[in-house]
Structures are given as structure tokens and as C-alpha cells.
Structure 1
Amino acid sequence: MQSRSDKLKRLVNVQRHLEKIAEIDLASTTRQRQEASETMDVVVEAINSLDPVHRSFSHHYSNQYAKLQQQEQMLANVQQMHEMRVVRERTKGDRMEDRMKEARNAEDREAADDSIYDLIDQHIAYKTSDG
């Protein structure tokens, strides 16, 4: 039979894993957002270019830039959601870890109390058999 602290320890491990998943999702979204930003910079350079080839595609570039702006805004919202999720998962893990430590302390106190009671019982039994 598992103790309460052992069960909570397993839950803390699972919660820390969920926290890592949330961090990975956040990192992925941040990377995608960075890529979109870099692509937007390239498109702006092409729009502002004096090269005749780029001038003929300026309408296409402006449409592409508008799509990138929408994608960047969507990714910003997703990133914010992932940031909140990371904080929420970390907070849950911290709380669970605190509960696990409290449970372990309570179990240790109970074990110490039981040891003292056993010693007292042995002492009384020894005195009874001796006297």
C-alpha cells in the first residue's frame, strides 16, 4: 500500500511533465512567431526594393504581408495562452509538491510517534516482567 506522500510524489512527477509539455508548446509557438517576423522583414525589404522584378510583384507582396500580420497576431494570442498555461501548470506542481512535503512530514512525525510508543510499551513490558 502506497503512502499519501508517495501518491502525491507520482502526481507531482506527472504535473512536472505537463509543465514541460506546456513549455515545449510555448517554445514552439515563440519559434513560429520569430519565423513569421523574419518573413515579414523579408517581405518589407522586397516591397521597398528598387529592383524592377520586386516592383512587379508588389501587390502579391502586400497580400503576403497582410497574411503574415494575421498569422503573427494569431501566434501572439496562442503564445499568450501558452504562457498562462505554463504558469498554471507550474503553480499546480508547486502546490502539489508542498502537499507532498506536508504529507511526508506528517508520516515522519507519525512514524516517530509510533517509535516512541513502542519504546514506552517495551519499557512498561520490561518493568512488568521484571517486577
Structure 2
Amino acid sequence: MDQLKSKKLDRLAKVQGHLKKMAENELAITTRERNELAEKIDTLTGYLTSLDPLHQQMLKHYASRHGRLTSRDVRLEAIQQAQETQILKETKKGERLEEKRDSARADELRVREDNSVYELIDLQMSLKDSSLQQG
């Protein structure tokens, strides 16, 4: 039964590692999206401050778009922070599972060693009993 415990904990630790990788991938996607959004906002800011007559005619449209992009960036920032927190949680869970797995393995090894000693003692006792019966 104890051997099953370390194997189960090992599987759980591997699953936890996959969950952490998934969270890291989601964070990478969000970060990339925020970077692309920042470039769009920078470009749009350049248009808003431009003295070009074409851009001056589009100021209302640019301002509206700038507001929407900024709002999206704020939402993405909140999502990014939540994802970073999730990664920390998944990392801590994984570390705890690995510690429990290692502890279970050590316990299993100790039980096997104890059983080996008991078997040797039983063997010696049975040899003494048989030699006493013969002698």
C-alpha cells in the first residue's frame, strides 16, 4: 500500500507539472498580446499627436480607438497578474507534492529495510530452533 502512495504522489506531481506548464503558456500568450497591444497604442498615440491634416481629420476615431485599446490593456494586465499568481500556486503545489513523494519513498525504503531485518531475525531463529531440535 505504501508503495502505491509514492507512485500516486509521483503521478500527481507530474500532473501538477503539466498544470504549471499550461499556466505558463497562458501567461506567455497574454504577455505577447499585451506587447502587441502596446505597439498599437504607441502607433495610435503618434497619430493623435501628429500635425498631419489627414490625422487631424481622424482624431475622433483615433481617440475612440485609443480608449478601447487602453481599456483592453487594463483588462489584460489584470488577467496577466492573475495568471502569474496561478503559476506561483501551481509551483508551490508541485513542490509540496514532490516533498510528500520523497517522504513516502523514504518511508517505503525504511519499511523494506525493516522487513529485511525481521526476515533475517526470523531465519536465524528458525535455524537455532532446528539445530536445538537436532542436537
Based on CA coordinates, which of the two structures has the bigger radius of gyration? 2
Aligned residues: 131
The alignment status of 1:95 with 2:134, answered yes or no, reads no
Deviates more, 1:20-29 or 1:45-54: 45-54
Deviates more, 1:81-90 or 1:50-59: 50-59
Instruction: Give, in whole Å, the separation in 2 of the partners of 1:105 and 1:93.
Output: 18
Gapped regions of structure 1 (runs ≥ 5): none
Instruction: Give, in whole Å, the separation in 2 of the partners of 1:123 and 1:46.
Output: 92
1:20 corresponds in structure 2 to: 21
Query: What TM-score comes out, normalization by structure 1 length?
Result: 0.95
Structure 1's consecutive aligned runs of 4 or more residues displaced over 3 angstroms after TM superposition are none
1:45-64 equivalences under 5 Å are 45-64=46-65
Q: Deviations over 1:5-54 (max 9, x none)?
A: 00110011111111111111111111111111111000011112232221
- Between the aligned residues of both structures, percent identity stands at 40
2:43 corresponds in structure 1 to: 42
CA RMSD in angstroms, aligned pairs only: 1.2
Matched residue SS, 2:64: helix
1:122 corresponds in structure 2 to: 123
2:105 corresponds in structure 1 to: 104
Gapped regions of structure 2 (runs ≥ 5): none
